[in-house]
Amino acid sequence: MKYLFALIVFVIGAYFAPQILESKGGPCQAFEAKLSGDIGAQNDNAGLLTGLASSISNGELGKRIATREYEKLPAGLACVRAYYTLGTDDIHL
């Protein structure tokens, strides 16, 4: 029973961690913020543009990228998985 409880706590923590770490309201917004930060670290001008785009899209861009990469998952879970597994080099638009 205690292992099941620990597993549930771990899964819930893994789901909400991106939102807390990025200070965003949802997993897709957190994924967008992570991508924007990664791109900004590589190129200042591109980082400015992606930061502007992510502030306007409010999670839609992250949702589209994540659901394209992980088609069989619901959007929220796809964004969480993308947050942990996808980098800027892994995304194929």
Q: Indicate the pTM of the whole model.
A: 0.78
Going by C-alpha positions, the residue among 77, 51, 58 that lies closest to residue 66 is 77
Write the pLDDT tens digit of every residue in 40-90. Answer: 777 766 666 766 766 677 888 888 888 988 889 998 899 999 889 877 666
How open is the CA angle 86-37-65, to the nearest 5 degrees? 40
Domain ranges of the chain: 2-85
Q: How confident is the model at residue 9 (pLDDT cuts 50, 70, 90)?
A: very high
Write the pLDDT tens digit of every residue in 13-44. Answer: 989 988 888 888 889 888 888 887 777 777 76
